[in-house]
Amino acid sequence: MKVDRIETIHVLPRWLFLKVHTDVGIVGLGEATLEGRSLTVETAVKEIERYLVGKNPLEIEKHWQTIYRGTFYRNGPVLSSALSGVEQALWDILGKHLNVPVYQLLGGKVRDKIRMYGWVSGEKTGSYVEDFKASVADGKFTAYKTCPVPACQAIESPAVMKQVVDNVRALREAAKSHVDIGVDFHGRCTPALSKRLCKKLEQFDLMFVEEPVLPGDVDAMKDISRSTSIPIAAGERLFTRWQFQELIEKQAVAIIQPDVSHCGGIMECRKIAAMAEARNIALAPHCPLGPIALASAIQVDACTPNFLCQEQLTLGEGYLKKPFVVQDGYVQVPDGPGLGIELNEQYIDTKCFAGDWETPLFHLPDGSLTEW
């Protein structure tokens, strides 16, 4: 079996799907979405294609090492996302070739179902609390994440901090005690501001606070972790095990959040999780992306002992022939070969676009740019 070509497809709302075609008819699915830069990633995928065409797709580790190390320059969101999407597709091919799920090839599942968490708006007051109550009442999810932190200045006013606290309080009061709530700071806060906010939010028994500071300052992350009883989560903007190493070794977080479409792919995510397991750090993969990325993450979740909870933006409704189904907060581990999914090609044809999705820009009152 040899790789024949790589096909890329930009799919609304902002996703980049890819298909690795082989000369025996097996097609592997991957997702290399990088918000606001998917056209650039597509170019990187085409550069990978030049190497991969004619090669045996089953030699996944060999290809990963060659693509990652062979061009001198490593890491970064573009190259890592392109590699991640291609690597997912190679695992899909191997699973389909052997007629087993990917998780079986990674040692077999350690759980029968995967806990998922939903999203709830929290940046503005309004109907979001009622929407949250309705969602909790229907029993679909038992965990949610919200982002109540607005575009921030280095040190914010008491009024802004009070609004953040009030929004989280409204959700906590609306939820039953078995419902977990995570709060995403989205890297919008300085370490000083995050410390103040975490202290005020401790009363709500949060599942975690995510990205209290921007990636890269591990010492600040560790300092925040030591200053609060709330578990700290981070890692969505880190690439490969080497960038996760310091975060894990210093135990700067309680939860790591590699993104299977950015960190290097399925096996790399599993390796990062194993590193974290040795430091008693939980895994909650980042995935505000499409259904192929979610399917890839679920394969990792199924075979990873220190897995905690899985983010999702879509369960694949419309995009997949058989979307994932959440019941009592969980989806069953899929038993189909490869990633265990089939695309609904007719529906996807109606969702194709040019790939020119723009990252939203956030500004402070003085007109200066701040974090998304």
Do residues 76 and 136 both lie within one domain?
A: no
Of 62, 82, 102, the residue that ends a domain is 102
Determine what percent of the chain is predicted with pLDDT higher than 70. Answer: 99
Residue at 41 is within a domain: yes
Residue 63 falls in the annotated catalytic set: no
What pLDDT was estimated at residue 152? Answer: 92
Mean pLDDT of 112-140: 82
Of 79, 102, 125, the residue that ends a domain is 102
Mean pLDDT of 349-353: 98
pLDDT for 178-188, tens place per residue? 999 999 999 99
Do residues 225 and 118 both lie within one domain?
A: yes
* 10, 21, 63, 286: the active-site residue: 286
Residue at 185 is within a domain: yes
- 51 pLDDT band, cuts 50/70/90, is very high
Q: Is the pLDDT of residue 121 over 80?
A: no
Q: Provide the residue range defining the domain that includes 149.
A: 108-338
Q: Is the pLDDT of residue 96 over 80?
A: yes
Task: Give which of 31, 4, 28, 3 is closest to 97, Cα–Cα.
Answer: 28
In CATH, what number is assigned to the domain containing residue 33?
Answer: 3.30.390.10
Total domains in the fold of the chain: 2
In CATH, what number is assigned to the domain containing residue 273?
Answer: 3.20.20.120
Helix (H), strand (E), coil (C) string for the chain: CCEEEEEEEEECCCEEEEEEEECCCCEEEEECCCCCCHHHHHHHHHHHHHHHCCCCCCCHHHHHHHHHHCCCCCCCHHHHHHHHHHHHHHHHHHHHHHCCEHHHHCCCCCCCEEEEEEEECCCCCCCHHHHHHHHHHCCCCCEEEECCCCCCCCCCCHHHHHHHHHHHHHHHHHCCCCCEEEEECCCCCCHHHHHHHHHHHHHHCCCEEECCCCCCCHHHHHHHHHHCCCCEEECCCCCHHHHHHHHHHCCCCCEECCECCCCCCHHHHHHHHHHHHCCCCEECCECCCCHHHHHHHHHHHHCCCCECCEECCCCCCCCECCCCCCECCEEECCCCCECCCCECHHHHHCCECCCCCCCCCEECCCCCEECC
Do residues 87 and 156 both lie within one domain?
A: no
Residue at 352 is within a domain: no
Do residues 181 and 248 both lie within one domain?
A: yes
Beta strand 255-256 with 232-234: parallel, antiparallel or unpaired?
A: parallel
Do residues 269 and 242 both lie within one domain?
A: yes
Do residues 261 and 332 both lie within one domain?
A: yes
Cβ–Cβ < 8 Å for 115, 143: yes
Do residues 44 and 167 both lie within one domain?
A: no
Residue at 193 is within a domain: yes
Do residues 117 and 210 both lie within one domain?
A: yes
Do residues 148 and 234 both lie within one domain?
A: yes
Of 76, 102, 128, the residue that ends a domain is 102
Task: Give which of 303, 245, 251 is closest to 272, Cα–Cα.
Answer: 245
What pLDDT was estimated at residue 130? Answer: 85
Mean pLDDT of 278-306: 98
* 10, 21, 63, 186: the active-site residue: 186
Residue 186 falls in the annotated catalytic set: yes
